[in-house]
Amino acid sequence: MAANEQHHTLQPPEFDVPTRVLIVVSPYYKSIADQLITGAKAACEAARAMYDVVEVPGALEVPTAISLAAKSGQYDGFVALGCVIRGETTHYDTVCNDSSRGLTLLGLDGVCIGNGILTVENREQAEVRAEASGQNKGGGAAEAALHLIALARRFGGGPRSSAFAPDSEHILMAGQTSKDSA
């Protein structure tokens, strides 16, 4: 059973320049969404990242909202939150697959997204996963987004840097020695 498994989690990144995150949530199951938001906000605050929260009608609209906001250039990363509980029809499969696919495609285009859209069989499973003082999937999604932001800054070479930046101002290229860079 997964509950008995030991899991390794990475230390949250710390940023030395302002970091801005947009939390996009579908409050369809409001009490579950509220717990996810609580966890995501706490993770952002712990990393000293600023955040905004916007709501969309359902999980299918989360990727579109993130795409629109990403084009604005106002945010370094995004947290996708919501909950899809299996019902009596195949609509569950469509919502789970298409929202996940949309987020994955955005991620492959370089958008830093932590996916905290729960896909569960029943409300009890959702409550356990959403609880900010429990499994805290909202916080985990925010930390995933923050890690991706740190990696984007590290690999992007832009003006922003993170805690993962080299200790030195001098970066050696392959085949170059420290004498060559002086």
**Residues in the chain, overall count:** 182
pLDDT at 168: 45
- Ranges of the chain with pLDDT below 50: 1, 157-169
CB 26 within 8 A of CB 55: yes
Measure Cα distances from 167 to 147, 148, 155, 162, 170 in Å. Answer: 19, 20, 15, 11, 9
Measure the CA–CA gap between 56 and 25, rounded to whole angstroms. 6
pLDDT at 180: 54
Whole-model pTM above 0.75? yes
Tell me the residue type at 168.
S
- List, by residue number, the catalytic residues: 91
Q: Which two tokens stand for residue 103?
A: 């987020």
pLDDT at 122: 97
Q: What percent of the chain has pLDDT over 90?
A: 76
pLDDT at 156: 83
pLDDT at 178: 54
pLDDT at 158: 39
